Amino acid sequence: MANSPGLLIYALLVCIAGRYAASEQAPLLPHASNDTTVSVDLFRELEELARIVDISYCVGTAGLGISKPFECASRCSEFENFELVTAWNTGPLLSDSCGYIALSHPPSPPRILLAFRGTYSIANTIVDLSTVPQEYVPYPGDDDDDNPPDFVSPRIKHVNPSGEDPPPSDPPKCDNCTVHTGFYTSWLNTRKAILPSLTETIEKYPNYQLVLVGHSLGGAVAALAGLDFKARGWDPKVTTFGEPRTGNKHLMAYINARFNITSNKTSNAFHRVTHTSDPVPLLPLAEWGYTMHSEELFISAPDLPPSIEDIRHCHGDEDPSCIAGSDSDGPSWGIPARFKFWELFFAHRDYFWRLGLCVPGGDPKDWYRKYLKPGDEVEESVDEL
């Protein structure tokens, strides 16, 4: 269906019709407190992470890139306290992976940031989302040889007075877990490319928080990277935008358990952000055995930019009032949300900003738009696009 001429023509007509018109941002005001409320601090954090992952689209672009100290044709100038460690690009195959590692130095929050880019190829996206699953084996059982180098099986220094090491080589078994083969291969390729630099950086900055952020297929890779890093005794914080379904229900339960996702929203270290009409979080299909994990944050507003009232915490793995309920909410023209592949150009890219363009300020429509900074009053509005 993704490759039929009728659907492609229809997608072009939707593009010409201007599917997404600019809309005015509602004032950022406190709203009634309940268990779905998103805090102002979390709203600011997500907005900043959306810009950070947007920069990853400069990696792998012909004639562009990210250079030291932290310069690019996109939003790098907005992060004056950032320092580029390295960027990676594993190649243009279906299991490709691009991104960068950067340091966020004080007075910004001290962090080691890994940003995982999505794919530029819409065709690759559709093909990747139809790959059969394979068994998931937690690190280190998935290493390629019996005597991996230190960066694959890193030495973990003593981190507490008792002198006991965390157990990097003995993660819990993931019983009956299966994972998307393309996503898993992409992570294995990425791991070889980044672990030398990442291990060295963590040893040099042990008090910096490890933060992973990914968009689209990069969100799936970030999720698998988070599990790997947990097994190494590191403590990553993971945020994904438009993350596809990565594995079966057993793997999703494993993610929930490893990240200790609970009803206490303020303590959870994994956020999975979805946007109404985005088909990617609904793929691969549930009929193929794929499902979602918990701690979803759902953006209900179709247009940019969202307000704090447009984002809410969801309950459980597949809350019917969030992205999982999209197919049942009266599919337009008889097409379920998961098959609206033209939304790969719109809803799938619209996470606080229009992601995926390595140009100054991101999408040109954003050039005159402001973003929230720490210390801004909550009553302030974000300017109209």
Cα separation, 382 vs 42, whole angstroms: 16
Closest C-alpha to 106, from 207, 25, 237: 207
Catalytic residue among 56, 216, 277, 307: 216
Cα separation, 129 vs 74, whole angstroms: 28
Closest C-alpha to 92, from 184, 186, 183: 186
Which helix (H) or strand (E) segment is 221 a member of?
A: helix 217-231
Catalytic residue among 95, 215, 348, 350: 348
Strands (E), the chain: 82-89, 98-104, 111-116, 133-135, 178-180, 209-215, 237-241, 270-275, 296-299, 311-313, 350-351, 353-354
Give phi and psi for 48, each to the nearest 5.
-65, -40
Active site residue 216: yes
Catalytic residue among 54, 128, 278, 350: 278
Tell me how far CA of residue 364 lies from CA of 22, 45, 368, in angstroms: 13, 23, 9
Amino acid identity of 239? T
CA 46 to centroid of chain Cα atoms: 10
The token pair at 359 is 């140009």
Residue 222 neighbours by CB under 8 Å, 6+ apart: 114, 116, 212, 213, 214, 238, 239, 240, 243
Active site residue 307: no
Amino acid identity of 97? S
Active site residue 348: yes
Q: Token match 């966020």: residue?
A: 104
**Which residues are identified as catalytic?**
216, 278, 348
